Amino acid sequence: MPVNTRPYRKIALAGGLVLLPIGWTLSHHGMSGHMAAHMIAVAIAAPLLALALQGGRYDPATRWPRLAAPLPAAMIEAVIVWGWHVPALRGLAMHRPIASIAEQASFLAAGLMLWSAVLAPRHRAAGVGALLVTSMHMTLLGALIGLAPRPLYMHQGPEALADQQVAGVIMLLVGGIAYLVGGLAMLGRLLHTRPEARPA
């Protein structure tokens, strides 16, 4: 008997939409607030929205199958994430509302594209690799930010270094772990379903 997934999709959609304004509010509170908003967008809200949209007419993996494939989507997200953490662009987003909107919107779009791609049934194997690679580069960026011996973002104020260290920890814990857990969960599903796919 098929399971009705509609209630779960509605809950996921509501959860993702509720988190977005919370992230936007946090993004204006220093580097740590920015990082919390970033992680909410790409690692929490995006997978919830991807689950809600999966297989529907607004699912990016359905609408743009070539672009919303695991490896291209992972590369796009890596470029966006690392690009917005270049000090010059981070400073622009701190002081220009338009740039801040573009930053948060691109985080969400890239995260939604990646999670939609890896959740597509035809991409399970590639999706595992994409999530694990994303976990690695998120962990690396978080470590670079958190362990830097001096402030990388001088426009953050007198407590820039301490704030930056907290931001690095947030990225390490939320970003690295969320993608790692997602990749391992998908690997478990892949290993579980493969025997069933074999002909009798």
Report residue 200's pLDDT band, with 50, 70 and 90 as the boundaries: very low
Structure tokens at 91: 């400073």
Residue-wise pLDDT tens digits, 5-34: 678 888 999 999 999 999 999 988 889 999
Helix then strand then coil, in percent of the chain rounded to 5, is: 80, 0, 20
- Flag the least confident range among 81-95, 106-120, 142-156: 142-156
- What pLDDT score does 177 carry? 83
User: What is the C-alpha separation between 76 and 46, in angstroms, rounded?
Assistant: 15
Number of neighbours of residue 66 by Cβ within 10 angstroms: 6
From residue 171, how far is each of 73, 77, 140, 141, 146 by CA, in Å? 19, 15, 9, 8, 9
- What pLDDT score does 197 carry? 44
Higher pLDDT, residue 53 or 125: 53
Structure tokens at 46: 């995006």
- What pLDDT score does 3 carry? 39
Report residue 2's pLDDT band, with 50, 70 and 90 as the boundaries: very low
Q: Are 108 and 45 in contact (CB under 8 A)?
A: yes
Residue-wise pLDDT tens digits, 143-192: 999 999 998 887 666 788 999 999 999 998 888 788 888 878 777 777 76
Question: What are the residue boundaries of the structural domains of the chain, listed by start?
Answer: 6-197
Question: Looking at the predicted structure, is the pLDDT value of residue 124 above 80?
Answer: no
- What pLDDT score does 193 carry? 63
- What pLDDT score does 35 carry? 94
